[in-house]
A and B are shown apart, each in its own frame.
Chain A
Amino acid sequence: MAARAVTGVSIGTAAPPATGVDPLEEVLSLCWAGHPAIVLASPPGGGKSYCLELVGSTMVTELGERVMVTTQTNAQAHDLAERYARAYPSLPVYLLTRSGAAVEISRRFARFPNVTVVDRPRDLGDGPSVVLSTTRRWEWVGLDVFHADLLVADEAWQMTYADLAMVAPLADRMLLVGDPGQIAPVTTAPLLRWLDQAAAPHRPAPAAVLATRGDDVAFVQLRHSRRLGPPTVSLVQPAFYPDLPFGSARPQRSLSGGGLGTSHLNAGRETCMVEVPGEPYGLADPEVAAVCAQVVTDAIGVAEVVQGEERRTLGPADVGVSCAHVVQVAAVRSALGPAYSEVMVDTAERWQGLERELMVVAHPLSGRDELTEFARDAGRLCVMLSRHRAGCVMVSRGGLRELLNRGAAEATRNVGILAPDGLRGWNAHNSVLDAVEAAGVLVARPGD
């Protein structure tokens, strides 16, 4: 297995974002004032969850309101309920589950006396409380059974405009919180019929709301990432968030030591690329999978996270591998073997909302011979490059630039849509590749 690590992205501190009113103060003021619709856009690790906790608890305890929180997955609802329970032990929290699941799920929350798990909407209390559930579950709650003062949508950019239409009638006002750079909602239906509509039912809810009722909606954006360091912000922000300037508010943090890939990361460099020599092999590329596995095994137990005076050796739970396809996940898992079963290996979709100290990324364009809509999706690459707290190693076959150049004209264009998703993805991939190239050496060519 011949693989060679090369230098990666070395970028200076990101330009400081515009200062002014604290965005959290702004959101809290708008919610308190009873603004009918607020959209809060956040960069990765921008403090969305903290904002949800703050708004929810304040509206319930200070104003005696009922707040409903809608999440896109069960796991998100459970995690958020636990955060509320930990941060505000006297706050009444309800978790509405699917029918028949309340008993089992309530075991997880047995240690939090302020959390009530119910599976029937009629069992939700009438008083001030935070009520959490998934969008799919809220759809089945009758308008005559439940009504809230404020609807808070978590990860709202993963929610379609059609989904919002299903839950919005349950509350008087709404706060949509999310990350506009993430993977757009997945729809399995043919969408040609609505592609030219800015407020089509399949589009992310906040984007559609701003397109239709922009003048009546308050738009606030968080301006710092607590997860990403300045080098990563300089890579990610221009590529994926051209309209959302943000900087890094993370304390100095870096990786030290390790082997393949990680040994090239340090305080000024959080990202590097390892190119696997040879011709593209297809999606389930065993050599790329083996290199991903090698980066992981070289780092665990050897590399250290350094923050100030503190040093900590990386364990299996500190490392993750993100792939674009399930077949790649299977290949990396197979290469890692059962000894590293604690290392989370999964697709970008599953990595949304999660983070690790070190992330290994199987580049979505690696091994491809054509540039599909899926491969060039900006949201997928954005998720992959924004899960790490200390370092990120990309693994790929060569020829990415040639692949992008070949697919330049293929982005589908539709009347009425000025910036199609395909073009946005193509630009984002080029921007990331430009940043890597600008750093000096890019990737090792076979035979170098």
Chain B
Amino acid sequence: MKVLIAEDDRITRLQLVKFLEDWGYQALAVANGNEAWQAFQKEPCHLLITDWEMPGINGLTLVKKIREIPEITCYIIMLTSHNETKDVITGIEVGADDFIKKPFRKDELRVRVRAGERIISLENRLIDQNKTLSLANSRMKRDLASASKVQSSLLPSHPPENQTIKFAWAYQPSEELGGDMLNIFMLDENHIGLYLADVSGHGVAASLLSVRIHQAMTPYNKQSSFLFSRHEHSTNESFAITSPAEVASNLEQRFPMDLTGLYFTLVYCIINIKTGMMAYINAGHPPMLWLDQDGQSQLLGCNNPGIGWGLGMAFEERSLQLHNGDRLCLYSDGITEACNETNQQYGPDRLAAFLSSRATDTIADITENIIRDITLWCKPKQPEDDRSMILAAIDSLS
């Protein structure tokens, strides 16, 4: 360990060098504060033993200057004939770590230098550990950013092609990775499916489960998808659309909380685009908001628990006849439970009022403006939960 000695008294200096070298330290001695400051700037030391009174820069000023360099760790012992408490306080205030009264005893010097060495060693270990942690943190952030991109890529890139219903959606995770998932897809030429799921909690575990839900509810691989079931007694590969209640039951069996440690809420709708008939299931999710062509709103819920609880209950499915001009809003609780500074929630009434007041706007504009309105409502608070939403406008039923 390198020790810099700043001491104008030649004999004290000689003693310090001799003792420190005998104990295996690498000692460099200078005769005043200016030389010490130059030596320190040239090559910082681990430990500085400095006299208080010296020609040029005195010990206190030297300590102050060294402490102004934040990234350097140096243990500083002041040698002094000052033994008043106020002098000790002054020295510690400017950054000295310890004091030795002159003339010093060899054994006292030894224990104080050893104490300094222990502290420097601990500080260096802490610096190394912080570096390791910082590297690991950067790597984790990069991984999370990549995972976030992957998760976002699972969201619908464009609405399903149809002339009957227009769709818009918003997805805003509260952290890098969200526990919400949504999708809109054609099930066949007459049916559109849409769902919004909200996994309990946030972060990596919740997002992984949301990705698994997405896989289970994809329409592209009918054999493995929960959205279709093989026709009984059929000899060829023909599939029927699975009802929302059955989809919920299948998800309940596949993702029990015992296995994942998580549960999720779900709203899943199947809309017949020819007749406007909608079948839906709501499993523990905030009720959908339905606005008719006159702007009257109604909340559509079901008496079902969230998925994963394993309560063994049959899921209740409901249906609704939709008409041209109706609008439907599926949203996660991060929308209606978004709190302002006084902990007042945004609430379903405010959401309904917002939707009613913008009957002539495009649904893409409405979706964007709702998210903006909620952000303003919460300001300056940051989102505490994922916010996601699907807005559907029934346009031209035949």
Answer yes or no: are A and B bound together in one complex. Answer: no
Q: Taking beta carbons and an 8 Å cutoff, which residues of A are in contact with B? A: none
Q: Taking beta carbons and an 8 Å cutoff, which residues of B are in contact with A? A: none
